[in-house]
Amino acid sequence: MIRGKIVYLRGLEKEDLGLLHTYLNDEEVMAWARSRPDHMVSMEGLEREYEAELRGDDPRRRTFVVVENTSGRPIGWASIRWHGPHTTTADIGIALGDKQHRGKGVGTEVNYLLTRLAFEQYNMHKVELWTLAENKAAIRSAEKNGYRIEGTLRETVYFNGRFHDAVLMGITKDDYERLKSKIRNE
């Protein structure tokens, strides 16, 4: 378990797949998190996708459930991913499926917890994230933790009748070491 001030992160359990099923079939959440409002997944598909992770032996990804400290209720999920066995860069993703919990500092805290995990436990050299250029909350919450926009991918995804730009953001270990006393949120 990884504790923050507002939420904690815990590992995914089989019982969480029901909640994940709701989020991963939610038009609004999927538009922001996957650029795919039409994204749908069956329970069978989910069970297959998370099988290795639930066994504790998926080398590519760790998924966390975001749980509110005060209520003990899950309000979203987050992940850290590696694209290959010897990579020095991790990729993070966060989605607060429960909309009423957005805009209250949770995303900033989860971003911080994942970033700290990547650098201080997994010895990563760099952490990246990809988001829609119009996702002001995702961009701002990452910037508050020292991430910078490294590039804009113009018209890279299509949904809801138009093309959307995306941004790639990143923070290096040096950036993190330099900034961590300022961004530390403990």
Ligand X SMILES: CC(C)(COP(=O)(O)OP(=O)(O)OC[C@H]1O[C@@H](n2cnc3c(N)ncnc32)[C@H](O)[C@@H]1OP(=O)(O)O)[C@@H](O)C(=O)NCCC(=O)NCCS
- Considering beta carbons, is residue 124 or 167 the nearer one to ligand X? 167
Residue placing its CB nearer to ligand X in the complex, 24 or 124: 24
| Interface stretch with ligand X, choices 52-60, 88-96, 117-125, 158-166 (CB under 6 A) | 88-96
Q: How far is the CB of 175 from ligand X (least distance, A)?
A: 18
Q: How far is the CB of 55 from ligand X (least distance, A)?
A: 27
At closest approach, how far in Å is the CB of 143 from ligand X? Answer: 8
Q: How far is the CB of 78 from ligand X (least distance, A)?
A: 8
CB of 173 to ligand X, least distance (A): 21
| Separation CA 183–CA 186 (nearest Å) | 9
Cα atoms in the Cβ-side hemisphere of radius 13 Å centred on 8: 10
Give percent helix, percent strand, percent coil of the chain, each to the nearest 5. 35, 35, 30
- Residue number with the shortest CB distance to ligand X? 107
What is the residue-wise DSSP string for 121-162? TS--SEEEEEEETT-HHHHHHHHTTT-EEEEEEEEEEEETTE
b/e burial code for range 99-110 (CB count within 10 A of at least 16 → b): eebbeebbbbbb
Distance CA 163, CA 145 (A): 28
Closer to ligand X by CB, 134 or 177: give it. Answer: 134
Q: Which of 9, 24, 33, 113 binds ligand X (CB under 6 A)?
A: 33
Question: Helix 106-120 vs helix 136-143: angle between axes, to the nearest 10 degrees?
Answer: 50
Restricting to residues 143-182, which ones interact with ligand X according to CB under 6 A? none
Which residues in the 89-148 window bind ligand X by CB under 6 A?
A: 93-96, 102-108, 129, 131, 135-138, 140-141
Indicate whether 65 belongs to the interface with ligand X (CB under 6 A): no
**Helix (H) / strand (E) containing 104:** none
**Chain positions contacting ligand X, by CB under 6 A:** 29, 32-33, 76, 93-96, 102-108, 129, 131, 135-138, 140-141
